[in-house]
Amino acid sequence: MKRCSEVRLDLPAYLSSELDHASAAALDEHLAACGACLGDLSELDLVTAVLSHSGLEHRPPGHLELEVLTLVTLEPDPAGREGSSTKDLSRASRLQGRSIRLVLAPALAAAAVTLAAFGMAWRSDLSNARDRIQAMQQQLGPTGAPVRAISFVESGSTGVSARGELVRQPDGNHRIVVWAKGLPHTPAGHHYEVWLSGEQGWVSAGSFQVSDGDSMMWSCPVGVSPAAYPEVWITLEPDDGDPRRTGPSVLRASL
Amino acid sequence: MARADAENELLRAVARGDPDALGELYRAFERPLYSVGMRWLSDPKLAEELVQEVTFRIWRRATTFDGRRGAASSWIFGIARNVAADLARERARRPIAVADPPRVQETLDEEKAWEAWQVSLELKRLPRQQQEIIELAYGRDMTQAEVARTLGIPLGTVKTRLYAGLKSLRRSLVERGVVEESSR
Ligand SMILES: [Zn+2]
């Protein structure tokens, strides 16, 4: 007969019916004669029952930590929270019917311009938040003020989500910052293009590629008045040299 | 309890504006937050929003945390419940056409969620090797043989680590009152 210490290692497999017939029968026999192992079994039974209802199957995606910590800790005034400029933005966003906002701090909005270069760090797992902040702050240019939150709606059911900000730069021009998750990698021979549209037609605001990772942050200056071009679209365009909008739209938003 | 004290201390450091403390707190709570987010909202994107918004609120409101009125983990759980309620209301208003909208829970099942919350917190505190085996076996429904193959370790090692992990998980869940103390 096996010793109790050996028997016990088989109890989890016994509970999940993984033992073969002969091993299960031998274990039954031991349990019938050994109160201690039987007690152990009932303890393990309780724990595994709790485990199976605890949502262990839900795992946060790997990119979440870096995204959340970067965004949160880049708030301009982490210690003086209530007085920070993000509070007003948060309130403005709520007035627009979004209870959850992506606060792109002014500093981050400016940093987004250089995020293409920062892409490596964005994806790699930098565990030290302070290093990360310093690395981003080194790349900051003059900051701008977010004037409006942009809520994108996907044009289809591709599982893409995106938010953004319209930022007014110190020079009075505007800039659009887009933060998207789940954008498919750009297919060969294509690019994503950002457009503004209004009564006067369509204006391209720039293009970008998604090559690895499924999160991207992107920013471009806007050469026209956002008031005259109140719609923002992101489309997938072929690299065919045709400057007109011909590809399918992926995301759209109203300013 | 030493662990609860450590969490309270982390939260106090967050209140002083220490981003490293926020990172450490985030890593302890990301999984439980995401998991209750999925439980309450049944939608991966909303669960991510919940993690993000709760982290924002922790960062902003850590100064209002009072360790004498309860543990950090209860305080954070309370924030998560409020955010989930906001998100559920928000979703009801969202004008996005979804072919097959996820089922919205009318009320948030707090008791079961609290239990699951504590399980995932305690799981995070197990040695990494035990944690990963428990996750594969009970989170992904793998057999022990599949776990052994996945991790490239002998089946006997899986058995030893799984047993040890389940036993210490039980001990901490008894401490937290999630499972009953056995009568023997
Ligand atoms: Zn025995």
Q: B16 φ, ψ to 5°? A: -80, 0
Give me the count of residues in chain A.
Answer: 255
Q: Can you give the pLDDT at residue B181?
A: 79
Among B20, B43, B52, pick the best mutation site for testing chain A contact (most A Cβ within 10 A): B52
Distance A14 CA to ligand 1 centre (A): 14
Q: Decide if A95 touches B, using CB distance below 8 A.
A: no
d(CA A130, CA A132): 5
Q: Decide if B181 touches A, using CB distance below 8 A.
A: no
Written as one string, the DSSP assignment of chain A is ---HHHHHHTHHHHHTT-S-HHHHHHHHHHHHH-HHHHHHHHHHHHHHHHHHTTTTT----TTHHHHHHHHHHTSS-STTGGGSHHHHHHHHHHHTT-SS-----HHHHHHGGGHHHHHHHHHS----HHHHHHHHHTT--S--EEEEEEE-EESSSS--EEEEEEEE-TTS-EEEEEEEESPPPPPTTEEEEEEEEETTEEEEEEEE---SSSEEEEEEEE-S-TTT--EEEEEEEESSS--S--SPEEEEEE-
Taken in order of first residue, the domains within chain B and their CATH numbers are 3-93 (1.10.1740.10), 126-175 (1.10.10.10)
Q: Can you give the pLDDT at residue B74?
A: 92
Domain ranges of chain A: 4-140, 145-254
Write down the residue that tokens 């007035």 correspond to: A95
Q: Can you give the pLDDT at residue B158?
A: 97
Give all strands (DSSP E) within B37-164, no chain letters.
none
pLDDT of B182 over the 80 cut: no
- CATH topology assigned to domain A145-254: Immunoglobulin-like (2.60.40)
Nearest to A82 by CA among B106, B15, B145, B72: B15
- For B63-107, what is each residue's pLDDT tens digit? 999 888 888 999 999 999 999 998 888 777 655 444 444 455 456
Q: Decide if B52 touches A, using CB distance below 8 A.
A: yes
d(CA A105, CA A96): 18
**Inter-chain residue contact B160 with A100, CB threshold 8 Å:** no
Among the listed ranges A29-33, B157-161, B180-184, which one has the minimum average pLDDT value?
A: B180-184
Q: For B128-133, what is the mean pLDDT?
A: 94
- For A107-141, what is each residue's pLDDT tens digit? 343 343 333 333 323 333 233 333 444 444 344 33
Q: Which residues of B touch A9 (CB under 8 A)?
A: 156, 159-160, 163
Q: Which residues of A touch B98 (CB under 8 A)?
A: 157
Which residues are found with C-beta within 5 Å of the ion, ligand 1? A 4, 34, 37
- For B29-73, what is each residue's pLDDT tens digit? 999 999 999 999 988 988 998 999 999 899 888 999 988 888 899
For chain B positions 77-136, those within 8 Å of chain A (CB to CB) are 83, 86-87, 89-90, 93, 95-96, 98-99, 112, 115-116, 119-120, 123, 134-135
Write down the residue that tokens 């933060």 correspond to: A179
Chain A, nearest residue to B20 by Cα: A129
Which two structure tokens, joined as six digits, stand for A47? 């724990």
Q: Can you give the pLDDT at residue A137?
A: 39
Pairwise pLDDT comparison (B108 vs B20), residue with the higher score: B20
C-alpha pair distances (Å), B30 with each of A62, A142, A179, B34, B79: 11, 33, 21, 6, 13
Chain A, nearest residue to B40 by Cα: A55
Q: Which residues of A touch B39 (CB under 8 A)?
A: 55, 58
Residue-by-residue pLDDT tens, chain A, 255 positions: 679 999 999 999 999 999 999 999 999 999 999 999 999 999 999 999 999 888 888 888 877 887 788 777 655 444 444 433 333 333 333 222 222 223 333 334 334 333 333 332 333 323 333 344 444 434 433 345 566 667 777 766 566 767 777 777 667 777 777 766 667 777 788 888 888 888 888 888 878 777 655 556 666 777 788 888 888 888 888 888 888 888 888 888 887
Q: How far is A220 from chain B (nearest CA, A)?
A: 25
Q: Can you give the pLDDT at residue A52?
A: 86
**Inter-chain residue contact A65 with B182, CB threshold 8 Å:** no
Chain A, nearest residue to B161 by Cα: A9
d(CA A64, CA A62): 6
Q: Decide if A156 touches B, using CB distance below 8 A.
A: no
Q: Which amino acid is at B32?
A: P
d(CA A21, CA A49): 23
